[in-house]
Amino acid sequence: MANVVAIVGRPNVGKSTLFNRLVERRQAIMDDESGVTRDRHYGYAEWNGKFFTAIDTGGYVSGSDDVFEGAIRQQVTIAIEEATVLIFMVNCQDGLTGLDKDFANVLRTTKKPVFIAANKADNTDQSWMAHEFHALGVGEIFPIAAISGSGTGDLLDAVVKTFPNPGDEDPDGGLPKIAILGRPNVGKSSFLNALIGEERSIVTDIAGTTRDAINTHYKLYGKDFLLIDTAGIRRKSKVKENIEFYSVMRAIRALEDSDVCIIVIDATRGLESQDINIIGLAQKQKKGVLIMVNKWDLVAKDTQTAAKIKDQMLEKLGTLDYIPIIFASVLEKQRIFQVVELATKVFENKHRKITTAKLNEVLLPIIEKSPPPALRGKYIKIKYITQLPTQSPAFAFFCNHPKNIKEPYTRFLENQMRKHFDLQGVPISIVFRKK
């Protein structure tokens, strides 16, 4: 059983600051505005040779009618169920509040070990303030300062003593990482929730509901992988608030950390310039890519609609026409599992290794039939081809005059490779080297 530590409490007590300190990277967004964290957020941490999963949660507010606060309560409840140990965070500067008391009542129903982290105990006077939290009657109290790390060592010593085992160093090691990207409100979080059959990400009609990149383990047809839901990416000029800026940065980092990107677009709006920017970014980072056209149920169609729209999209993609396109509807659960199946296929293509013998057997006769054009009377002879040991498919063509081969011929070779080898959804690199 994995060791799971959930950090819980009311809004704005410093839960994300402590979470970032535990996982040793600025993974969760922090801001003075309350309610910045909305979904459950996971990271991996280690203390004294014990490994654990840390969960950052949104601030718990009971009895509120706010659409986000209701959804956050649900997310916190799930985190409490998943955890083996709970760190209940309170704030020495504010003292004991009604919201702390309400939340202590929620924790009394659990049989799990609870430790109270009295945050913002930056000096001796404030550390003394921590004693008033004894009134909550739920667990040992540790005065800490999450921002500087003061006192967190004692807290973690107590937490790891409750672990039944040392835990796994990196439970995600070697798992394919699939990022779900797109503009705001195209249905990324709804897609994730539909796949896993639970409210993993909070969904509303308000653009910008998802703020952090959210990792979820997923298993389909006996294969394990990691799905990453991200915030919507808008054009720079449209990003007004600090929080949204950081959300977009997290989404771009999720793209950089992933193996395959599912770009979700809205069928009623089609492929827009911002979608092409996101696809271009994924291609530049040498990621596997596929396009999921969501909300297909809202499009009036006849037998030719899909083919027509696909052709229009491929024309807009230009040289990126190797990217597969799949029409789906999250609402109707139409083809959503095929999307993931296709993403795993793209992952396999990205890691495909083609033997030197096969490459030469297939491509050399084609090159002989259509050789590169001679330049200033110099004939170019390609002798042999081999795949390079890189993260995504790259091929070296050895020839007598590598500098004389121009872009159109490189495109011709790429098209031939795609025609004869399954490299759908994957950018490929071709280099020419002197024999």
Q: DSSP labels for 118-173?
A: EE---SHHHHHHGGGGGGG-SSEEEE-BTTTTBTHHHHHHHHHHT-SS---S-TTT
Q: Give the Cβ contact number of residue 267 at 10 Å.
A: 21
Among residues 257, 237, 238, the alpha carbon closest in space to that of 184 is found at 238
Residue 229's nearest CA partner among 210, 243, 246, 244 is 210
- Does domain 356-434 fall under CATH 3.30.300.20? My reply is yes
Chain-centre distance for alpha carbon 110: 31
Question: pLDDT by residue for the chain (435 residues), tens digit each?
Answer: 578 899 998 888 888 889 988 888 655 544 444 444 545 677 788 899 899 988 888 777 666 565 555 566 777 777 788 889 999 999 988 889 888 898 888 888 888 999 999 998 887 777 788 888 998 888 899 999 988 888 899 999 999 999 988 877 666 667 888 888 888 888 888 888 888 776 555 445 544 444 455 666 667 767 787 888 777 665 555 545 554 455 566 667 777 888 999 999 998 888 888 888 888 888 988 999 999 999 898 887 777 888 889 999 999 988 888 999 999 998 888 899 999 999 999 999 999 999 999 999 999 999 999 988 888 888 889 899 999 998 889 999 999 988 888 999 999 999 999 999 989 999 999 999 987
**Residue whose C-alpha is closest to residue 329's, from 143, 194, 185:** 194
Q: Are 166 and 244 in contact (CB under 8 A)?
A: no
Contact 190, 333 (CB under 8 A): no
- 135-159 exposure pattern, b = at least 16 Cβ within 10 A, e = fewer: ebebbebbbbbbeeeebbeebbebb
- CATH 3.30.300.20, the chain: domain bounds: 356-434
- What superfamily in CATH does domain 177-349 come from? P-loop containing nucleotide triphosphate hydrolases (3.40.50.300)
Domain with CATH 3.40.50.300 in the chain: 4-161, 177-349
Decide if 240 contacts 211 (C-beta within 8 A).
no
What pLDDT is recorded for position 239? 44
Of 40, 20, 42, which is closest to residue 31 (Cα–Cα)? 20
- Side-by-side strand order, sheet with 4-9: 41-47, 50-56, 4-9, 85-91, 114-119, 140-143
4-161: what CATH class?
alpha beta
pTM: 0.66
